[in-house]
């Protein structure tokens, strides 16, 4: 059996922010605040999941996120890829650089 996981002790500022988040119109923030508050009151992750009708992994992730990032964990983060990806390979980038400063008329585009 796994050792139970709980949120770390909340500061007064954090507790106020979490309680305010219970009135949030954002479902993600509301759910995270419910989880953090229940955990701070000593409820186990499995019981919180049952009470909120959500998956146990959801509760565990929320608790871990709060323990790592504090109040930032109450806001949903972007799912966008944060690693730089080149739109062109090196050869294509060089071709683009060679044409970028040319007149559109070179390519058959007329002026209006």
pLDDT in tens, 42-89: 999 999 999 999 999 999 999 999 999 999 999 998 877 777 777 778
Query: What are the sequence ranges of the domains in the chain?
Result: 12-74
Q: What is the CATH number of domain 12-74?
A: 1.10.10
Average pLDDT over residues 18-42: 97
What is the reported pLDDT for 32? Answer: 97
Give the least confident one: 17-31, 42-56, 98-112.
Answer: 98-112
Strands in the chain per DSSP E: none
φ, ψ for residue 98, nearest 5 deg: -70, -25
Q: Which residues contact 67 (CB under 8 A, 6 or more apart)?
A: 7, 8
């Amino acid at each position: 059996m796994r050792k139970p996981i709980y949120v770390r002790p909340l500061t007064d500022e954090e507790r106020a922010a979490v309680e305010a988040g219970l009135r949030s119109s954002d479902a993600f923030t509301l759910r995270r605040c419910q989880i953090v508050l229940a955990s701070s009151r000593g409820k186990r992750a499995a019981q919180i999941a049952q009470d909120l009708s959500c998956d146990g992994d959801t509760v565990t992730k929320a608790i871990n996120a709060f323990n790592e990032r504090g109040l930032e964990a109450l806001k949903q983060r972007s799912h966008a890829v944060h690693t730089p990806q080149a739109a062109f390979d090196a050869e294509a980038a060089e071709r683009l650089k060679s044409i970028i400063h040319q007149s559109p008329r070179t390519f058959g585009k007329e002026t209006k």
